[in-house]
Amino acid sequence: MKFITKIIFIILLAWVAEIYLPWWSIAAAAAVGGFLLKSKANFLAGFLAIAVLWLVKALLIDMSAAVPLADKVSKVLLVNSKALLMLVTALLGGLVGGFGALTGSLLRGK
């Protein structure tokens, strides 16, 4: 239960932080989540929270665009698949979130 609560808390905090702050604010949001809500799987909670958040945001941006934006970006980056581009986006965001949550939990100590 603590794990799911931590994921939801990090998603909400990172979503609000991304509205007003730069993209790297997700690391700070995950660190706050890791600091306040301690669990055994800090890295995994931060990774899953930010990966899901960025995947959902990327899909929403792609669906609401007037042109197939993800297709054009994938051609520019020489990635031949929109799905692969979305997966890489989620993976990179997840790594930042995972390391942020791990850092927050290590700052708290025992």
For residues 30 and 106, the answer to whether their CB atoms sit within 8 Å is no
Digitized pLDDT (tens) for each residue of the chain, 110 residues in all: 788 999 999 999 999 999 999 999 999 999 999 999 888 889 999 999 999 999 999 888 888 877 777 777 777 888 778 888 889 899 999 999 999 999 999 998 76
Can you give the pLDDT at residue 110? 64
Query: What is d(CA 56, CA 86) in angstroms, rounded to the nearest whole number?
Result: 9
Global pTM?
0.88
Residue with tokens 């990635």: 79
Can you give the pLDDT at residue 68? 74
Query: What is d(CA 44, CA 95) in angstroms, rounded to the nearest whole number?
Result: 9
Can you give the pLDDT at residue 67? 75
Can you give the pLDDT at residue 17? 94
Number of H helices, E strands in the chain: 5, 0
For residues 72 and 87, the answer to whether their CB atoms sit within 8 Å is no
